[in-house]
């Protein structure tokens, strides 16, 4: 079992740190929020007063923070304190450029770092069933893998530093676009007088099948239990989908990639969030397509 510093105990990090403690790791947990620290204590972690204290003597330091600027800030605080033998594992969803920069900065300080963003929401973080996509050297992946496996169901090596973030935003760009396409199809089907259940039964075993259709159907009473069955509460907030689509658009611009469907999805989610709907599950975008 390892001594692990865990920084960022929010919706996702809280459950992830709890799972590491449950697996028997010695988890030194830090967050700016006193409430988050209390919850971590109840979950078996040792709350500490700073990121540096969490890093002190750690074999691994896991971060789960809102955005790239928070990760860069926290990494600055770790440098000089984290033991040279420690591995830095950033599970936050951040821009590819910052992911590469912080890994390079870590390397310059003699530390090994990986980006390891997740697929799966708060439920998967609590249940320990996240999927991790990891960017870093093969050696770094080998070191991070057993720790990530204690928080997830799949840990996949995506490539060099930054490749984990690239995989994450490419995946979520598909998700944003297919969700809107699925919502459009349900709305059109309804206007054509097609029964929603009949359409689901057909499309979910036909070429219109996708995760958005089969596993996350955006209408209540159709398919498995989804946020649509709970008035679009819980699930994956539209604001977070917008965040990921913006990261994808920024990355596409950086490398000159043409992503028209992703751009359209970003535009639709931006309008949805600006209309005050950002806290609803992202499948609620169907409401903008219904009468």
Q: Which residues are within 8 A (CB) of 3 and not within 5 positions of it... i.e. 6 or more apart?
A: 25, 26, 28, 57, 58, 59, 60
Choose among 129, 128, 139, 96: nearest CA to 115: 96
Smallest gap, in angstroms, from Cβ of residue 69 to ligand NAD? 9
Considering the complex, state which of residue 11 and residue 137 has its C-beta at the smaller distance from ligand NAD: 11
| Contact between 118 and ligand NAD per CB under 6 A | yes
Smallest gap, in angstroms, from Cβ of residue 281 to ligand NAD? 10
**Interactions with ligand NAD, residue window 45-104 (CB under 6 A):** 51, 64-66, 70, 73-74, 92-93
| Contact between 166 and ligand NAD per CB under 6 A | no
Considering the complex, state which of residue 20 and residue 203 has its C-beta at the smaller distance from ligand NAD: 20
Token pair listed for 200? 């689901």
Q: Using the rule CB under 6 A, which residue among 122, 149, 156, 289 binds ligand NAD?
A: 122
**Interactions with ligand NAD, residue window 245-264 (CB under 6 A):** none
Report the half-sphere exposure of 163 (CA within 13 A, side-chain side): 13
By 3-state DSSP, what share of the chain in percent is helix, strand and coil, each rounded to 5?
A: 55, 15, 35
Q: Using the rule CB under 6 A, which residue among 4, 5, 6, 8 binds ligand NAD?
A: 8
| Contact between 43 and ligand NAD per CB under 6 A | no
Q: Other C-beta atoms within 10 Å of 46: how many? A: 17
| Contact between 284 and ligand NAD per CB under 6 A | no
Smallest gap, in angstroms, from Cβ of residue 266 to ligand NAD? 15
Contact criterion met (CB below 8 Å) for 9 and 29: yes
Residues near ligand NAD (CB under 6 A): 7-13, 30-33, 36, 51, 64-66, 70, 73-74, 92-93, 118, 121-122, 236, 240, 243
């Amino acid at each position: 079992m390892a001594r692990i510093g865990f920084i960022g105990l929010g919706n996702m990090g809280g459950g992830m740190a709890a799972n590491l403690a449950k697996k028997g790791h010695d988890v030194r947990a830090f967050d700016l929020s006193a409430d988050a620290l209390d919850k971590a204590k109840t979950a078996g972690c040792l709350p500490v007063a700073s990121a540096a204290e969490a890093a002190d003597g750690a074999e691994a330091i896991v971060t789960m923070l809102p955005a790239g600027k928070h990760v860069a800030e926290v990494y600055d605080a770790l440098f000089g304190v984290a033991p040279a033998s420690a591995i830095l594992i950033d599970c936050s969803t951040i821009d590819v450029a910052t992911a590469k920069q912080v890994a390079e900065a870590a390397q310059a300080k003699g530390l090994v770092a990986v980006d390891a963003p997740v697929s799966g929401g708060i439920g998967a973080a609590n249940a320990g069933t996240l999927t991790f996509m990891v960017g870093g050297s093969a050696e770094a992946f080998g070191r991070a893998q057993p720790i990530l496996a204690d928080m997830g169901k799949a840990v996949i090596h995506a490539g060099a530093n930054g490749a984990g973030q690239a995989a994450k935003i490419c995946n979520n760009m598909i998700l944003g676009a297919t969700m809107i396409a699925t919502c459009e199809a349900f709305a059109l089907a309804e206007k054509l007088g097609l029964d929603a259940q009949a359409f689901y039964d057909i499309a979910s075993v036909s070429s219109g099948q996708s995760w958005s259709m089969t596993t996350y159907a955006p209408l209540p009473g159709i398919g498995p239990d989804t946020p649509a069955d709970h008035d679009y509460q819980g699930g994956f907030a539209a604001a977070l989908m917008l965040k990921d689509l913006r990261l994808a658009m920024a990355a596409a611009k950086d490398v000159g990639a043409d992503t028209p469907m992703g751009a359209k999805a970003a535009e639709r989610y931006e309008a949805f969030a600006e209309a005050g709907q950002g806290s609803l599950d992202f499948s609620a975008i169907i409401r903008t397509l219904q009468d």
